[in-house]
Amino acid sequence: MKNARYILPEARERVVELVAKEQYIPAIKLVREVTGLGLKEAKEYVDGMKGEIFAQRVPPEVQGKVRALLAEGKVKPAAALVRVETGLGKRGAKDYVDAVRQGLVHAPAHDGSGMLSDRVRAFKHAGDYESAVAIVCAETGMGRDEAARFVEALR
């Protein structure tokens, strides 16, 4: 955010709590109160936090499935999956999916369980070859044929 002012950790923590509960208006009001920012800037600040906050509630394997669905242009099914798998409300799930689409949520860290190859193997072993290919396309920029060869090469 361009005009961000410093937010004390205690206030930021409270904003995070409000956003996690999908209470955006109180979160925006709090940001305005503690920073002196205008409505537009405070809303941008809160909107920027949504993906980061909701990503903490979405397991890496679900994030991979969401990215695969988005690669296929399936926005509504991606949001529905997030709702079912995380318990996020309709608005929170939509906001998370929108944040992923806008590039505000990065792929899960490569900590073993979040590695692309592991997520692709999981799809492959579940018999969901198309999602395996789609996630490779979405996260690497490979074309469909190249991604299919990558999926086939994994054991």
Report how far residue 81's alpha carbon sits from residue 150's, in angstroms, rounded to the nearest whole number: 26
Provide the residue ranges of all domains of the chain, joining segments of one domain with +.
9-50, 60-153
Q: What is the pLDDT of residues 7-37, one digit of tens each?
A: 788 888 999 999 988 899 999 999 999 999 9
pLDDT value for 101 = 85
Average pLDDT over residues 96-118: 72
Report if pTM > 0.75: no
Cα-to-chain-centroid distance, residue 45: 17
Report how far residue 94's alpha carbon sits from residue 103's, in angstroms, rounded to the nearest whole number: 14
Share of the chain above pLDDT 70, in %: 90
Q: What is the pLDDT of residues 54-98, one digit of tens each?
A: 888 888 888 888 988 988 889 999 999 999 999 888 988 999 998
